[in-house]
Amino acid sequence: MLKPLVEDFIQLFYPLICPVCGTQLVHGEKFLCTGCLLHMPLSNYHEYEDNPVAKAFWGRVKVENATAYYLFEKGSKYQKLIHQLKYKGRKNIGLELGKMFGDNLQETVFQQVDLIIPVPLHYKKLKKRGFNQSELISHGMSEAMKKEVDTKTLVRKVANPTQTRKTRVERWENVEGIFELKDPDRFKGRHILLVDDVLTTGATLEACTDAVLEAPGTKVSIAVLAYVL
């Protein structure tokens, strides 16, 4: 019974607030308040194959199944979850949402994957940020889905150029060929689940998929935490 007491004690000095609505969390609430958790705008895209995430890759690259955990509109309060995770270093958001996402995908086609692979950051960016948000989401998903996470095989050779003020076409060209497999045999004949935080143009995930499919007999499915409506 000591742990909850310690947590309450710490919260006296460092009150945790819900990243969505800003209210102070109470005992038993992990990272979201009960109301925001209850109203999480889930996509349930895993229930149909022709969902918007899957469609984003049609005619571009072969993807078995694709889904997103939740949806948000630009500027909506649920967008703050991603912001708090990526730029404020609230790593537990990635882990907890990853677990919820993994739970959500149990008993679906996504359970057929062999390995979970987060979209890698360039090592310089990883050093600067200190963590890879997609990796945190992957570890949460791994816990729920009982699938291994691999962060060593797929690597980013080139740092992502700054993407603001570029057109969609330029962005797409920018990331082409920036990922590679260190050890293609590791992925041979396996079904890979690529994980990212947000789907915007899909260019990064497309480039990752291209790299993974270089390994013989590989299949790729895609899971993004959030899809921007």
Footprint (CB under 5 A) of Zn ion, residues 4-23: 18, 20-21
Q: Which stretch binds Zn ion (CB under 5 A): 26-34, 108-116, 144-152, 192-200?
A: 26-34
Both tokens of 218, joined, read: 């590989």
CB of 143 to Zn ion, least distance (A): 23
Q: Does 33 contact Zn ion by CB under 5 A?
A: yes
Please work out, in degrees rounded to the nearest 5, the angle formed at the alpha carbon of residue 45 by the alpha carbons of 170 and 143.
95
Q: What is the CA radius of gyration of the chain?
A: 18
Nearer to Zn ion, 20 or 81 (CB): 20
Can you count the helices (H) and strands (E) in the chain?
Answer: 9, 7
Cα(12)–Cα(32) distance, integer angstroms: 18
Q: Given the complex with Zn ion, which of 18 and 116 has the nearer CB atom? A: 18
The residue among 36 and 81 lying less far from Zn ion, judged by its C-beta, is: 36
CA of residue 66 relative to chain centroid, distance = 12
Q: At what angle do helices 133-145 and 91-105 cross, to 10 degrees?
A: 40
Q: How far is CA 123 from CA 13, 59, 88, 201, in A?
A: 35, 31, 19, 23
The region of 30-38, 92-100, 105-113, 207-215 touching Zn ion under the rule CB under 5 A is 30-38
Shortest distance, position 77 Cβ to Zn ion, whole Å: 8
Q: Does 36 bind Zn ion (CB under 5 A)?
A: yes
Q: How far is the CB of 156 from Zn ion (least distance, A)?
A: 34
| Binding range to Zn ion, per CB under 5 A, among 36-44, 84-92, 100-108, 122-130 | 36-44
In the complex, which residues of this chain contact Zn ion (CB under 5 A)? 18, 20-21, 33, 36
